[in-house]
Structures are given as C-alpha cells and as structure tokens.
Amino acid sequence: MMKTQREIMTSGKPYQQFDTELIERRVFIREQLAKWNSYPDNDKRNNGLKSLLGDVGENFFVESNFKFDYGWNIHIGDYFYGNYDMTFLDTCPITIGEHCYFGPNVGLYTPIHPLDPRQRNADVEMGAPITIGNSCWFGGRVTVLPGVTLGNNVVVGAGSVVTKSFGDNVVIAGNPARVIKKVALSNDTNLTNQE
C-alpha cells in the first residue's frame, strides 16, 4: 500500500514538504493558532488549542502564542503547563509525559535538514522524534533538537540546548547541555517543610 507524505514524514524518512495535504494542514493550523492564541479567556484558549493536538491530558494549560506545524504529532500527558511563546515543530512525534512544566520560549524541533547543500536545495527534509518523560521542568529558552529522549524527573536549565538524550533524575544545563547534578528524590511532599 502506498504511504502518504504525512505517514512518510511522521516516520522520519525524507518527504515532500510541499505535498498538498501537508500544505493545507499548515495553513489550517496557522489560521487556528491566530484565532485561539488571541483569546484572553484561559478556558477558551486552552480548549481550542487542545482540539488541534494529537492527544493531550485533561489538565492542560498554555499561555498565548503556542506555535506548531501540524498538531497531529503532538502527544502531551496530563498536568501540563507551558509558558508564553512555545514552539513545537512536529514533523515527527513529540511525546511529553505527565506533570511537565515549560518556561517561556521553549522550542522542541523534530525536523532535520541535510548537511549536503545539494539535498537542502532540493528541499529534502526528514525528522526524528522527541520524547520527554514524566515530571520534567524546562527553564526559559530551552531548545531540544531532533531525536532527543529525556527520562523522568529531568530539569533543564534556562537557555540550554539539548543535543543528546539523558536518563532519569538529572539536572542538565548548557550549550550543549550536560549533567550538572542529580535530582535528589524525597518522600516528603509537604512543601511547607522545604527550605
């Protein structure tokens, strides 16, 4: 059976970005984002944005100017918060676990452009998925590159560029991001006793 360009794109293989279905979807998404991002009412804005995504948990809150290409390939778990001006380029799947919190200007980028200029000039484009575990916290202006997987309880320092995958329970920061410490897990969830 012949695969659509959408299926080829989502699988990470080279695809034709000027395919009619893909162009129509990008235009539709731009129109919808212009509409829903302009709503000052939080419930209307978030319900409208949720309707454009592949799947998303019930407790979902993003500030205005959330941007993405297709929405089809964005999968977000329950209890998600995203601050202003997030950009998710979802050529390939972007999967985010539960209880994740993103600062402003976070960018998740799945597209890959060839190093060979002749291929770039021929509009060859492909991608690699991004997967983020549960209970992750990203500071402002974090950039995550194609193919990255982050485990559970990962904290990413503001301004970091994440170029490779990391496991659970680490704080990473820098450009390129590297482990700067381990996350110490506590059994005490009572915040009033925290220093």
- The residues assigned a catalytic role are 113
Cβ(128)–Cβ(12) under 8 Å?
yes
The phi and psi torsions of 20 (rounded to 5 degrees) equal -60, -45
Residues 24, 12: Cα–Cα separation, whole Å = 20
Q: Indicate if the alpha-carbon torsion angle 17, 118, 129, 173 is positive or negative.
A: negative
Cβ(72)–Cβ(89) under 8 Å?
no
Residues 6 or more apart whose Cβ sits within 8 Å of residue 125:
14, 15, 17, 91, 111, 112, 113
Residues 88, 74: Cα–Cα separation, whole Å = 8
Q: How many CA atoms lie within 13 A of 86 on its CB side?
A: 22
* Buried-state track 70-94, b at ≥16 Cβ within 10 A, e below 16: bbbbbbbbebbebbebbebbbbbbb
